[in-house]
Every structure is written in structure tokens, then in C-alpha cells.
Amino acid sequence: MSMMNGGVNPDHSEGGTILGHPKGLFLLFLVEMWERFSYYGMRGLLMLYLISVMAAHQSKPGVHTNTIEFAELNTADIKVVDALQVRQFSIVAGPTSEALPEAIPGVASGTPALVLQRLKPVPKPDKPKEFEWVVDEEPDTWPIVIAGESGKKGSFTNTEVRYNIINNGSTTVRCRVSVARDGSNSSYFTVNRSPGGITTDVKPLSEVGAGAAPTQVIIAANTHDSGRNWLQSEASVLYGWYTGLAYLFPILGGIFADKLIGTHRSMLVGGLLIAIGHIILGISGFGEMAHSRTGMSLFIMGLAVIVLGTGHFKPTVSVMVGQLYKQGDPRRDGAFTIFYMGINLGAFICAFVCGTLGEKVGWHWGFGSAAVGMLAGLALYVVGKPKYLHGIGEAPNTRTASLTPMFLIGSLVASAAFAAAYHFGALGSLNEAMGAIRKNQMLSLVLIAVVLVGILGWIIHFTLKNDPADRGPVITIFIFMFFNAFFWLAFEQAGSSINVFTEQNTDRNVGGFEVPATWFQSVNAGLIFMLAPLFAGIWTALGRKKMNPSQPVKIALGLFFLGCGYLFMLWAGVVAKGGVAKASMMLIFMTYFWHTVGELCLSPTGLSYVTKAAPARFVSLLMGIWFVSSFIANLGGGLIAAQVEKIERGELKMPWSFGGQADFFMLFVVSSIGASIVIFLLSPILKKLIGGRESNAPDASAH
């Protein structure tokens, strides 16, 4: 596989060096930086875009109606609604004199225990430009109309309506406030910033306390830019497949590069596909496509193109770094450390460009800007390659090199076919079939058992095929793969559940400026820049004293600190329970801080360990399996994130009860720290199995 090509080319220092390394290293540094800029920039926007509701100004001329439901839930079974109050909200796009809905009183069913007080904004006497919300004494009529001009951003006014929810009874009432979903993908409003609504406990007035603010909800029309109004569960599954496949397809990409077109051409194909994919994402949100199935199908095609492009690109650049040096060159480890800093630099700066454009200007401007980054990296590479990377990454022979255009065209055709399958419902039918299997508990358990037994049987068979001296290290590779997947499954919630929580449930106002939620996606990369040299120094110092922790202990530390990070998400979830109060940004920052500490402990147990511990004849195979574990981790992370709303609403019970999303995040506290304890207890046995193949590779931090 391409990931394992050695440095067989002449030393490229003749063209001059920087910091003692060939200039070609820094060219590859910049190329990888811009590719990571594109990948992480788009990834930070993906979930937020998919779950965002329709924008008022992007609606077609006419009247568009949503119903807001205030449902009082049964205390014994929250799936049962004891009472329901509804209010109708309408977007009137175009001339407001045409077809205005009639004013009809709000509707209630059952015997509501809660009283809804509609609020209105009035100027403050001492500050006329500022408003305060007071109870509206006028009858609460239906509908509430928000009018403006279709296609004109900023023309819609009074886009926010607030309600106090008053409980005059003697017992706490659990209330779910949400926009009724009719399957038409036409929601225009959020509840306390959440497209899915909130579920909150409303205490009796007698328990609230004098002077305390009542429970308040904010119903707001989207005036930013249209998303796709997917359920968070649906978006999380797509996110999991997207990020997972980005780690699976590099296995094929590496094979194609090794056997057919070489790393140079594979990089060009991958970079072009990534750029084209982001351009497709940008185009899919213009005009009618912003809210049409055609536009969504085009968006799916763009994601597929990026995945295939990443498959070509990801396994090539690091190989070309290795090809700059002769075998045994002591500079090689340092070169990879410099190279991986490029990864983190791209991941750091992307949110400030792509994220800001996406959240402040328009989602598709953010997607499009990611294409600019990839094109910038390719341009630098094409210009600098003849001088600084001459002879690096060439194809095995000229005959196979001519196949390069086929990979580019074939990837575009395959992506278009995948999008067509989505457009015409084939993927939906497949998803329904998988859903039917999941509902059949016995069938699901049997399938899982068969798969696990098959995998375990193959691992045993494969291990026994090796020489006795190699079996111990091979066993440790598989064990480390398991815990590596465990780590990244929890870590990769950063782009899904944690990202959405940050956007919806965090107070991000600083001096009147709202910090974009996507900016927090840069915290990890920024901290790696600051902490990686410190950790490298710590490991070196401990090594001199013969106290450097073994690989299993470092994995245990990584998982432990990961769990510590989720304690802050648990805290944030408790603060934001019910969707009314907002958690502090500092809790999100501290989560990422401890996750980064965990990553810096665990990252040396990655690909570098496989290269040193694996038997020579099986290195490529085990490297591919390691990538499969990353695929499983990312896909599994998305599937688990899909359960956050069910856990928050109490439909999926956990062994603990903190309330809201805190119960979801507690899952990773338990799993991470629990796994940490397990591998720590196993560390003496694992250390014996490793023998003399302990990895002392520098920090990669390249996940």
C-alpha cells in the first residue's frame, strides 16, 4: 500500500534546505495544510447546515405555515401527550396584501395545566434603541405573521416571538415545545435556537421563588441562510458515513497509487476531486436548489466526490515526505513532526475562514471557500514540484500512468450515480431495510454475534499464521486497534454532537459579538501547536530517566483524559438542561483542552506503532485494517450521536439520570474512563507481548 512506501529516492537536499530539511518538505507541508483546511472547514459546517431550517427570504412567494406545539407530557410515559396547545406561525413572502391568513384563536386539546403568555418587545424608556420583552395584553390570536419580500435578505422584520410558560398548578409539568414536522421539509422556525425544539420541566409558581424569571421560549424565524432541515439523528448518520468513508477509501487509494499511477498523480487527482466536490457543495445552495430535492441530491454528489478525492489524496502526501529521505536518515522523524504541524495549521485556520463565512454570510460561501484552499494547495504543488520534488511519487511505468484521467472521470461518474440513487429513493429503501433489521432485536443480536465471531476467528487464524516471535506484537496491534477505535469514536463527537450543542446551547456572546460555533473546531488544532512540543519534551525527559510510559499506559492515559473532558460536557449539559439556560463557552473549551491532552498521550500508538511492531510481510495488510478501525470509529460515532435527541427527551433511558443532553455525554465519561481502567490493568501483560518493539516515534497528531 502507498502508506508504506519507503524513502528510496536520492536525498533532495541538493536544492537547498530549511531548518536542515529539503525544501520539498515545506512544499508538501503547505499542500497538506490547505487540504486539511478544506476538510476540516467543511466538516465543521456539515452538521449545522443539515439541521438548519429554511430561511424566510429564500421561500417562494406566498404563505408558508408552521405549527408550534406546546405539549404537556405524561409523567409515567413521555410518549403520551396529556394536553396540547398549538400556535400557528406564518411566513408571508411577497406582497403582504395578498392572501393573508385569517386570525384564529389558538387551539388546545386535553386540559392544559400550563398558561402561555405571549410577549412583545417595547423600547426601553432610557434607551430607545434597546428593547425589553413584556406581556402582550392583546388576545393571543392565531396566526402570527412574519412578512417580507421573497429573495430579499433583511426584508423580514419582527422575526422573533417569545412566550412565558406559567405553571399555576402544584406539580412540575414536563413540556415539549417544537415545530410540528409534516415531512415536507419546510420548517422555518427554531425554538430557543433548536430546530428540533426543547423539552423542559416547568415548576409551579410556588416553587419558582419571588422575582425569579419564568420559563421562556423564543420562537424565531431563520433569516440567515437555508439549511436542509434534517433531524439531528439523520444528519448524524450522514456525518458518520462521510467521516468514516474518508478513512476507508484511502486503502484503495493507496493501492492504486502503488500499483498504477504513483503518489504524484494520485495526489493531483485527489486534490482536484476535493476542490470540485466543494464547488459542487457551494453551487447546490443557490436559487431554487437551496430548498429542492435536486439541490440536496447535488449536495450528496459533492460529498461523494470529496470522499473519493480524500481516498486518493490522504495516503499519498505522507508517503512523499518519506521519499525525500534515504532509509535510515535520522531527519525523517523530525520531518514528519514538521509535516504534521501543517495538518494542524490547516485545521486551525479553516474555521476562521470557512466557519465565519458559513455562519455569518451563507452556508455555501463557507463550502465554496474550502475549495479555494484546496486549489491554492494544488497551485503551489504544481509550481514547486519540478524544482523541489523532482522524481518523487512517479508511477511504476508510463503505461499505467496514462490511466490517471480515468480515475478522475470515474470518480465523478460514480459520485453522480450515487447521487442519482439518493435522488430516486434507492438509498432510502436501503435505509428502511436496515431500520427494519434494527427493530428486530433478535435478528440484530444474531447478526452482531455472527460478525463478532467471524472477526475473532479471523484474528486468531491470522495470529497463528505468524512466527511465534511475531504473535505477541500482532496481538497487541489488534488490541490497540480496538482501544484506538474506542478513543476516536468518542473524540469525533467534536464535529457532531458537541458542535451542535455549542451552536444551540452555549452562550457565545462576547461584548455584543456572537462567536461562531465553528470556531471551537479550531481549539484542538491550536492546542496541539502549543502542547505538542511540551509533550515531546516530557516523553524525552522521562525516557532519559527510563520512566517513559509504555504504549498501553499511554493509551490508558489518553482515554482517561478524554473521559475527563466529557465531565465538562456533562456539566454543560446539566446547565443547559431543558434548553432554556445556556452553558458557558469555557466548558466547551475545557472539553477540547482535555481531549487534546488525551490525543497527545494516545497518538504515538497509531500508524507508527504498526510499522514497527507488524511482521514485515503483513505491514500493508495491518495498516489497512488500522484504517478500517478508524472507519468503524467515525461511523460508530455518527450512529451514537444520532441517539442524542432520544436520550435528551428521555425516550432512550440510560443507567443514570442527570437530565437532557448531560445523560448523553455521561456515556462517554463512563466508556472512556472505563476503557482506560481496563487497558491500564492489562498493561503488564501487553508490555510483555510487545517485547522489544516499543514505539518511540514522535507525536503524529494526524488523525
pLDDT, position 259: 84
pLDDT digits (tens, 9 = 90+) for 454-509: 989 999 998 998 888 888 888 988 998 899 888 999 999 999 999 999 999 999 99
pLDDT digits (tens, 9 = 90+) for 128-146: 778 889 988 877 766 788 8
Share of residues in the chain with pLDDT > 70 (%): 91
**Hey, which residues does 338 pair with through a beta bridge?**
none
- Specify whether the CB–CB gap between 670 and 540 falls below 8 A: no
Q: Please enumerate in sequence order all residues whose Cβ is within 8 A of that of 90, keeping only pairs 6 or more positions apart, or say none.
A: 63, 64, 65, 66, 101, 143, 144, 145, 146
- Here the cell at position 523 is 481549539
Beta-carbon-side half-sphere exposure of residue 55 (alpha carbons within 13 Å):
26
Taking 80 as the threshold, does the pLDDT of residue 605 lie above it? no
- Here the cell at position 152 is 430579499
- Specify whether the CB–CB gap between 32 and 373 falls below 8 A: no
Alpha-carbon distance 351 to 524, whole Å? 12
Rounded (to 5) percent helix, strand, coil in the chain: 60, 15, 25
Taking 90 as the threshold, does the pLDDT of residue 587 lie above it? yes
pLDDT, position 142: 66
**Nearest to 699, CA basis, from 423, 403, 411, 338:** 338
Beta-carbon-side half-sphere exposure of residue 171 (alpha carbons within 13 Å):
8
Alpha-carbon distance 419 to 303, whole Å? 9
CA 637 to chain centre: 9
CA 690 to chain centre: 34
Q: Say which range, 214-218, 264-268, 313-317, 462-466, has the weakest mean pLDDT.
A: 313-317
pLDDT, position 497: 96
Taking 80 as the threshold, does the pLDDT of residue 46 lie above it? yes
Alpha-carbon distance 314 to 299, whole Å? 22
pLDDT, position 106: 67
Cα–Cα distances in angstroms (integers) from residue 253 to residues 81, 262, 377, 410, in the given order: 52, 10, 19, 13
**Hey, which residues does 91 pair with through a beta bridge?**
64, 146
pLDDT digits (tens, 9 = 90+) for 64-87: 889 999 999 988 888 889 999 999
Q: Which residue has better confidence, 16 or 288?
A: 288
The one-letter code for the residue type at 97 is: S
Taking 90 as the threshold, does the pLDDT of residue 596 lie above it? yes
Cα–Cα distances in angstroms (integers) from residue 487 to residues 493, 517, 540, 555, 623, in the given order: 11, 23, 24, 9, 18
pLDDT, position 702: 46
- Here the cell at position 126 is 432610557
Q: Is 526 exposed, middle or buried (0-12, 13-18, 19+ CB in 10 A)?
A: middle
* Other C-beta atoms lying within 10 Å of the C-beta of residue 512: 5
- Specify whether the CB–CB gap between 334 and 495 falls below 8 A: no
For cell 466543494, the residue is 278
pLDDT, position 697: 43
**Nearest to 665, CA basis, from 687, 650, 648:** 648
Q: Is 653 exposed, middle or buried (0-12, 13-18, 19+ CB in 10 A)?
A: exposed
Cα–Cα distances in angstroms (integers) from residue 160 to residues 133, 353, 358, 511, in the given order: 11, 29, 22, 22
Alpha-carbon distance 390 to 267, whole Å? 15
Alpha-carbon distance 242 to 238, whole Å? 6
Q: Which domains does the chain have, with CATH numbers?
A: 1-51+229-439 (1.20.1250.20), 56-221 (no CATH), 461-703 (1.20.1250.20)
Pairing assessment for the beta strands 513-514 and 509-510 based on DSSP bridges: antiparallel
pLDDT tier at 681 (50, 70, 90 boundaries)?
very high
DSSP string, 468-487: HHHHHHHHHHHHHHHHHHHH
Q: Say which range, 78-87, 260-269, 513-522, 605-614, has the weakest mean pLDDT.
A: 605-614
Share of residues in the chain with pLDDT > 90 (%): 46
- Here the cell at position 170 is 402544584
Taking 80 as the threshold, does the pLDDT of residue 375 lie above it? yes
Alpha-carbon distance 173 to 74, whole Å? 9
- Here the cell at position 408 is 478522475
E strands within 107-172?
107-110, 114-123, 131-135, 141-142, 144-148, 160-167
E strands within 616-681?
none
Q: Which sign does the torsion angle of CA 676, 680, 682, 688 carry? A: positive
pLDDT, position 10: 52
Alpha-carbon distance 58 to 288, whole Å? 8
Reduce the secondary structure of 206-265 to three states and give it as a string: HHHCCCCCCEEEEEEEECCCCCCCCCHHHHHHHHHHHHHHHHHHHHHHHHHHHHHHHHHH
- Here the cell at position 433 is 431495510
pLDDT digits (tens, 9 = 90+) for 354-368: 999 999 999 999 999
* Other C-beta atoms lying within 10 Å of the C-beta of residue 479: 18
pLDDT digits (tens, 9 = 90+) for 152-166: 888 898 899 999 999
Q: Please enumerate in sequence order all residues whose Cβ is within 8 A of that of 375, keeping only pairs 6 or more positions apart, or say none.
A: 275
- Specify whether the CB–CB gap between 472 and 688 falls below 8 A: yes
* Other C-beta atoms lying within 10 Å of the C-beta of residue 409: 11
**Nearest to 502, CA basis, from 530, 523, 529:** 523
Peptide bond into 214 cis (omega under 30): no
- Here the cell at position 420 is 442519482
pTM exceeds cut of 0.85: yes
